[in-house]
Amino acid sequence: MVMAGSNLPYDAIVTQLSMGIDLIIHISRSREGRRYIDEICSVLPSEGHEYKLKTLYINKGGQGLERICSDEELKSVMAYKA
Q: Is the pLDDT confidence value at 1 over 80?
A: no
Cα end-to-end distance, the chain, whole Å: 27
From residue 27, alpha-carbon distances to 10, 50, 60, 64 in Å are 28, 23, 13, 12
pLDDT in tens, 21-71: 889 999 988 888 888 899 999 988 877 677 788 999 999 877 789 999 998
**Positions of E strands within the chain:** 23-29, 35-47, 50-59, 65-67
**The pLDDT value given to residue 80:** 64
Question: Is the CB of residue 15 less than 8 Å from the CB of residue 46?
Answer: yes
